[in-house]
Structure 1
Amino acid sequence: MMGDGAMKKTILGAAAAILCAVDPLHMAAIAATAQTASAAVQFGARENVEYIDISPDGHHVVYLQAGPGRATYVFLADLDQGGESRLVVRSDGNPERLRWCNFVTNDRLICQMSAVDFSGIVALPFTRLISIDTTGQNLKLLGQQSSFYDSRVRQFDGEIVDWSGGEDGTVLMSRSYVPEAGRTGSHISRTSDGIGVDRIDVRTLRATRVEAPNPTASFYMSDGRGVVRVMATRAMRGATGQLGATVDFRYRADGSERWQTLGSWDTRTGAGLYPLAVDRDLDAVYVLQKLNGRLALYRVKLDGSMASELVYANEHVDVDDVVRSSRGLRVIGVTFAEAERRTVYFDQDYAALARNLGHAIPNLPLIDFGSASADGNRILVHAGSDSDPGRYYVYDRATRRLNEIMLARPELENVALSQVRSISYPAADGSQIPGYLTLPPGREDARGLPAVILPHGGPSARDEWGFDWLAQYLAHQGYAVLQANYRGSAGYGDDWLRQNGFQGWRTSIGDITAGARWLAQQGIADPNRLAILGWSYGGYAALQAGATEPGLFKAIVAIAPVTDLQQAKDDVADYTDARNVAEFIGSGPHVAEGSPLRHADAIVAPVLLFHGDHDLNVRVIHSQRMDAALRAAGHQSELTVFPGLEHDLADSTARAQMLGRIGAFLDANLHRQ
């Protein structure tokens, strides 16, 4: 495992290596350069703004910008000086990746780094929180300092529980404490074990204990004003060392030190309640809980009465989350995805602002409010649509001005993009399967197109209406693209989720292949020029569809696919969540029957595989074994392995290479005209 000292040295060295930075707000120059790039490079570029936050005084923003390849830059931009930017820090992505940065004060940030360590017997993901000046100086690690005598590896050093620690320049941080073992010749040995909460001064690292470390604690929730009100615990399965499937929640009444039972959540079934946010003014916690088989939003009093009231429910889909004001101080609404994502605002000021922005930028209906200045005057806004990757704005309440500050994907600013239609089609049993259809730009009424079925990953996830870089690339190349929310997808309630897409693979795969037939029946697609492409579970679905219905697809592309269900269980055997993963996948005949690796001889279409060799979600051995099995069966297969990349292949160069190869592969096998 990389030590904290080594990580600090790596971050500081990387920051010093950057001598200058391009001003990303100079959008015209970037857009002009983008015109000369190939489509694979344009669509494969990582999102230009990966994270953004506004300073307490509202005069600056800090944002993470995708650099070349897998590098990430953190910039500070002055909103009052024409967007002038300067570099704060960077990561090269090999292996450390910067994930986010937030202001604590106007001149001090907290950022999170992550990586996967492959130096031990078992590969381990880890994260570290750092505090750093906006000038890039005085970098400090916020977690517990490592010791030679640590009894175990500290994977995750902690999380920010509350950005308002009760004092200027402080935060509440849940810290992971590891006791020492084997220290001799000294009476001083660390014994704290588990996750506790400290109030930390981000400049001096002076820490004050708020909650004692608890070996069973998973996370804590505060009221947004420096008081911890909810604790989550997760017990082990006896002496097995395996995590249980149930998360238990406790709460404290206002002013009390005694923990009381709030409820529990079954991670397998979603039964019980799951807390989202504490409302200090109402002395209540917002929770997700099922109503008629769908997740709904409730509010539970924390005064000892446990009085519960329904806040919002939807008859068709699950409620996903609450919407908070800046820094999570207030719950201002609830969000969920029907055919399009919707937000219902409880706060009338935000509701009015959302309506007004909708009138000001009618072509960008997907509006999200980000962080705000301490006085609430300046608010970050992201707005996008199906055919616009998104733009970032700063709204000034006092002047009522909306200023665009940067593009999410400047490489695509002058590229024709496609509209996305919400559709539904019949499955074999007559059930209507919701999904999205993307046709080549300017060819909305085209007929007999080559088509690509693009099933989503998960499987317990779903596609939504909006910009999708992979679907848009395929449409740009001339393909009709169908994305189905097959049964087994999340968001539609228990009846739709069913067993999940592994245990109930026949239903899920059947829904996906029914979409291909529907495209042909409607005349949209040429039945002799159908392909299927997927990532993660979507890649699994692509291969399994090729095995169960050989001849339906003329080309198969699988990115980081699961190919053998038993292998997927074996991959996590040395981890504490192994038992839960095994139960999710299940046991029985479906494990062999639902594994495309076991049926490679049935796949007749050419197969193209991509995988990162640092993928912990789905190990690269899945693609390696699939490629070998297909070749042994005499079938056409090609595998590209990207060294050092994780499941999301967060490398613009690698993504461009992948898209270029996909484009050529599909053209060759679908005979695109």
Structure 2
Amino acid sequence: MRLVDWLAGASLLCAGVSVSAQEAATDAEGQRLAAAFGSREQVQQISISPDGSKVAMLMPAGKRGTRLVIGDRRTDEAPKSILASSGEPEQLTHCFWSTNQRIVCGIYSVASGSELLGFTRLVSLNSDGGGMKVLSARTSSRALAAMYDGGRLIDRLAEAEGGTVLMTRSFVPESTAGTLLANRTQGLGVELVNTTTLARKVVEQPRANAVDYVSDGHGSVRIMGIQSTRASGYDGNQISYSYRLPASRAWQPLSTLDLNSRAGFNPSAVDPDLNVAYGFDLNDGRKALYRVALDGSGSRELVVARPDVDVDGLLTIGRHSRVVGASFATDRREAVFFDPQLKALQGALKKALPHQPLVTFLDASADENQLLLLAGGDVEPGTYYVYDKRTRALEQVLPARPELANTVLAPVKAITFPATDGTPIPAYLTLPVGGAAKTVGAIVLPHGGPGSRDEWGFDWLSQFLAARGFAVLQPNFRGSAGYGDAWFQKNGFQSWRTAVGDVNDGGRWLVQQGIAKADKLAVLGWSYGGYAALQSAALDPALFKAIVAIAPVTDLDRLREESRLFTNFMLVDAFIGHGPHVREGSPAQNAARIQAPVLLFHGDLDRNVAVGESRFMADQLRGAGRKVDYVEFKGLDHYLNDSEARTRMLAQTDGFLRTSLKIDQ
């Protein structure tokens, strides 16, 4: 059975999602669309076996769980679920093939107490679901600290290696009382682990301040990163990288990366054939891809650079993570391939799939003849395919969002609008299907981060809003990443007046262009975007008539203190900075300036932005006599990865906007 046929015969997750009319405050069509767009992607992650015969897919299980599904491309048998996580709170995060019969999966969970602490583990199991074992090293009863980091794969090696992988390990010291066998070492090291027998061998001894190891994809660790520390025990702002010559165990200095300024070569991959490291460094204030020789010469070559945007993506493929190109985003994400075959193939696929121009190679069989890829676009949520180089056949595996198959999506257009000082601000404009005649209102939707940016393509949140008749503007305001240091400025918190000013100017532009009426204008954001939505009133209280903030930062000092007990505190402290901007740039400290009604959403297991920030914001707004509704989701983190929660959030947002903007149902 073809996988796409199997999915067509299965019941879709959105069919079982319902929201009460009181909670939704929207019409039946709004509830239907909220369920369709709120359902999680049917494929959350996917990989292909070394021989190319099977795929392993992480798919939704219930409202917030995840299941591992194995599909055999050679048979007519239905795909089989072999492992599941409840999402309460443990979650399967990724799965990769170790051999044709053995799979390695990552698990993430949160331990709640006085602090929310995340921990990870790696497990392995057979492709039929049997023989599951924990790959992450176990700590003994003598351990002096908990091991939160269960390690990460840095080299899958080859099928011929018998199912061994290279993975990092956090070594935890043990009490020496009453024993001579206690482990006295601590820090991050690397082990060679057999995914079937669990036989393990230390190949890189732990180092207290090690934070990174890079393999050559063939079993040899060639690069190590050591982070500086302060006398207080907090992390420093530099990572010093060292490398090894081929067949040598001695470390030699490679580069120093400054975490505050981004300056310095940051290695990402090693090409053993060329004996070089690929990585990123600044070039005229923008990130560019370089390669540095690992032969002792220190030779350095600029590979890909742009005068307008950062080159921020390294393209690799296959079990050996072979470097094949780089990517950057102008109006759209573009790729520069070093591999001529892949370059030609991507061009051919764009022609064959004209409505899915964003083509990403995700994985490959051991011989790289079977390529697993995702193709999508603004009006196409994405489809997974396997391409066979030998037969030139393109086989559809699964659509990413089958529940939207019968929903007409709105095209996304790259535009610019002028800021108050005349600076052109790049943005994306999504008009409802049917154009201005179908527009009932307009929403400015600033992205999260702030060290991030929006890109052209499918976005479930903006597409839902467009489906409900709203025009949506997504500005890449100054403070966004991707456009170089001058555009990023001091970051969206220290330079909040500029960043939020650009967001507000986007709202004014919508009115000036006749896309929205002044009384039908709202702002909505998630994370930093929620911060910008709330903080917009500090500059112009009367501009937006409704504000929706999802998991927002609301108080910069509170955000700082959330990191106090963690080693990265000084980095967070420097990022936020000190001075008048901390109070002036905190929405909760300026709640009295907000005139528009506010709707807040937050998960109580959010480790990115603590739930206390929304609770505090709601209290401050109520204390100032302002209108606020606050919805808290139990057991969910920053991303609200729950179909029922997302459905409720969309439906309630829709109803809130229509009521606040006085839009007829």
Structure 1 residues 583-598: aligned runs within 5 Å: 583-598=574-589
SS at match of 1:496: helix
Structure 1 residues 359-374: aligned runs within 5 Å: 359-374=351-366
Corresponding residue number in structure 1 for 2:120: 127
Q: Which residue of 152, 168, 186 maps to 2:179?
A: 186
Structure 1 residues 526-541: aligned runs within 5 Å: 526-541=517-532
Corresponding residue number in structure 1 for 2:168: 174
Corresponding residue number in structure 2 for 1:498: 489
Corresponding residue number in structure 1 for 2:445: 454
Q: Say whether residues 1:113 and 2:107 are aligned partners.
A: yes
Question: Match of 1:435, as an amino acid?
Answer: A
CA distance in 2, matches of 1:112, 1:105: 16
Q: Which residue of 310, 314, 317 maps to 1:318?
A: 310
Render the CA deviation track for 1:532-562: whole Å, top value 9, x for unaligned: 0000000000000023211111100000001
Q: TM-score, normalised by structure 1?
A: 0.94
Structure 1 residues 387-406: aligned runs within 5 Å: 387-406=379-398
Corresponding residue number in structure 1 for 2:550: 559
Corresponding residue number in structure 1 for 2:90: 96
Structure showing greater relative contact order (alpha-carbon pairs closer than 8 Å, 6 or more residues apart) = 2
Q: CA deviation at 1:81?
A: 1.9
Structure 1 residues 241-640: aligned runs within 5 Å: 241-441=233-433, 443-446=434-437, 449-640=440-631
CA distance in 1, matches of 2:42, 2:619: 37
SS at match of 2:174: coil
CA distance in 1, matches of 2:509, 2:98: 53
CA distance in 2, matches of 1:385, 1:577: 37
SS at match of 2:182: coil
Identity %: 46
**Does the Cα contact within 8 Å between 1:220 and 1:232 map onto a contact in 2?**
yes
Q: Say whether residues 1:672 and 2:643 are aligned partners.
A: no
CA distance in 2, matches of 1:485, 1:354: 27
Q: CA deviation at 1:496?
A: 0.2
SS at match of 2:453: coil
**Does the Cα contact within 8 Å between 1:543 and 1:596 map onto a contact in 2?**
yes
Q: CA deviation at 1:232?
A: 0.8
Render the CA deviation track for 1:270-307: whole Å, top value 9, x for unaligned: 01110111011000001111111111111100000010
Q: Which residue of 148, 152, 156 maps to 1:155?
A: 148
- Residues 1:309 and 1:399: Cα distance change in structure 2 (over 3 Å): same
Corresponding residue number in structure 2 for 1:11: none
Q: Say whether residues 1:235 and 2:228 are aligned partners.
A: yes
CA distance in 2, matches of 1:26, 1:273: 47
Corresponding residue number in structure 2 for 1:26: 6
- Residues 1:395 and 1:421: Cα distance change in structure 2 (over 3 Å): same
Any gaps of 5 or more consecutive residues in structure 2? 18-31
- Residues 1:83 and 1:660: Cα distance change in structure 2 (over 3 Å): farther
CA distance in 1, matches of 2:5, 2:293: 46
SS at match of 2:154: strand
Q: CA deviation at 1:30?
A: 5.2
Q: CA deviation at 1:235?
A: 2.1
Q: CA deviation at 1:35?
A: 8.2
Q: Say whether residues 1:66 and 2:60 are aligned partners.
A: yes
Question: Match of 1:169, as an amino acid?
Answer: G
Q: CA deviation at 1:186?
A: 2.3
Question: Match of 1:374, as an amino acid?
Answer: A
Question: Match of 1:495, as an amino acid?
Answer: A
Render the CA deviation track for 1:506-527: whole Å, top value 9, x for unaligned: 0000000000000110111111
SS at match of 1:515: helix
**Does the Cα contact within 8 Å between 1:448 and 1:523 map onto a contact in 2?**
no
**Does the Cα contact within 8 Å between 2:524 and 2:548 map onto a contact in 1?**
yes
Question: Match of 1:26, as an amino acid?
Answer: W
CA distance in 2, matches of 1:222, 1:337: 28
Corresponding residue number in structure 2 for 1:641: 632
CA distance in 2, matches of 1:622, 1:583: 20
Structure 1 residues 41-80: aligned runs within 5 Å: 41-80=35-74
CA distance in 2, matches of 1:615, 1:200: 33
- Residues 1:432 and 1:592: Cα distance change in structure 2 (over 3 Å): same
Structure 1 residues 198-213: aligned runs within 5 Å: 198-213=191-206
SS at match of 2:571: helix
CA distance in 2, matches of 1:71, 1:35: 16
Corresponding residue number in structure 1 for 2:136: 143
**Does the Cα contact within 8 Å between 2:432 and 2:439 map onto a contact in 1?**
no
SS at match of 2:141: coil
**Does the Cα contact within 8 Å between 1:390 and 1:409 map onto a contact in 2?**
yes
Question: Match of 1:318, as an amino acid?
Answer: D
RMSD of aligned alpha carbons: 1.6
SS at match of 2:509: helix
**Does the Cα contact within 8 Å between 1:457 and 1:536 map onto a contact in 2?**
yes
CA distance in 1, matches of 2:409, 2:15: 14
Render the CA deviation track for 1:355-379: whole Å, top value 9, x for unaligned: 1111111111000111111122211
Higher mean Cα deviation, 83-92 or 336-345?
83-92
Any gaps of 5 or more consecutive residues in structure 1? 1-21
Question: Match of 1:191, as an amino acid?
Answer: R
CA distance in 1, matches of 2:501, 2:5: 47
Q: CA deviation at 1:118?
A: 1.0
Render the CA deviation track for 1:90-130: whole Å, top value 9, x for unaligned: 000111110000000011010000011113x3321111111
CA distance in 2, matches of 1:61, 1:92: 22
**Does the Cα contact within 8 Å between 2:356 and 2:376 map onto a contact in 1?**
yes
Higher mean Cα deviation, 385-394 or 122-131?
122-131
SS at match of 1:627: helix
Corresponding residue number in structure 2 for 1:12: none
Q: CA deviation at 1:31?
A: 8.3
Question: Match of 2:403, as an amino acid?
Answer: E
SS at match of 1:422: strand
**Does the Cα contact within 8 Å between 2:56 and 2:96 map onto a contact in 1?**
yes
**Does the Cα contact within 8 Å between 1:447 and 1:523 map onto a contact in 2?**
no
Q: Say whether residues 1:654 and 2:645 are aligned partners.
A: yes
- Residues 1:96 and 1:130: Cα distance change in structure 2 (over 3 Å): same
